[in-house]
Amino acid sequence: MHDSGSLLVLPGVDSMKCVNTINKLNTIAKFIYMDKFWKAQIEQVFVDDNMDLELIPKVGRQVILFGDIDRMAEKFKFLKAFYKDKMSQVGWNKYIVINLKFRNQIVCTKI
C-alpha cells in the first residue's frame, strides 16, 4: 500500500529523491515555458536512472544531457549559442548526444 500523501513513488528510490526530482522538473518546465525560444525547441524532459535530466528537442534526433538544474540559465545560454552557431552550419542530425553537464563547455557525440 502506498502512502496517500506521496506525489510520486518509485521502487528503490527514496522519497526525498522523488521530491527533489519533482522540484527539478517544475523548475526546468517553468524556465522552458517562459522562454519563447525554448518552448518552441524542447519536446520532452526525461529523468534518467541517476535522476539527471535529459531534454528531447522537437528538431533533430539528439538527446541533450542536461544533468542537474545547477547553472540552468548558463546551460541554456550555451545551448542556444551552439544551436545558432554550430547546428545551423553542420545540420540538425550531425550529433546524437549534446552533453551540457560540464562547466563552460558542450561535449557532443557524432552520429
- pLDDT reported for residue 20: 86
12-34 per-position pLDDT tens digit: 667 777 788 889 999 999 999 99
50 found inside a domain:
yes
- The answer to whether residue 6 sits within a structural domain is no
Output the pLDDT for position 9.
Answer: 54
**Tens digits of residue pLDDT in 57-99:** 998 889 999 999 999 999 999 999 998 988 878 877 889 999 9
Q: What is the CATH number of the domain that holds 85?
A: 3.40.50.11690
Residue 29 counted as domain residue: yes
Instruction: Residue count of the chain, please give it.
Output: 111
Asked whether residue 5 is assigned to any structural domain, the reply reads no
In a domain, 8, yes or no: no
Domain membership of residue 80 (yes or no) is: yes
> How far separated are the first and last CA of the chain, in Å rounded?
45
Q: Based on the structure, what is the number of domains in the chain? A: 1
- Residue 1 above 50 pLDDT? no
Q: Is 72 exposed, middle or buried (0-12, 13-18, 19+ CB in 10 A)?
A: middle
Residue given cell 542556444 in the structure block: 80
38: domain range? 15-110
- DSSP for 36-50, written as a single string: HHHHHHEEEEEE-TT
Asked if 65 and 22 count as a contact pair (C-beta separation under 8 A), the reply is no
Q: Is residue 4 part of a domain?
A: no
pTM of the model: 0.81
42 close to 57: Cβ distance less than 8 angstroms: yes
Q: Is the pLDDT of residue 50 over 80?
A: yes
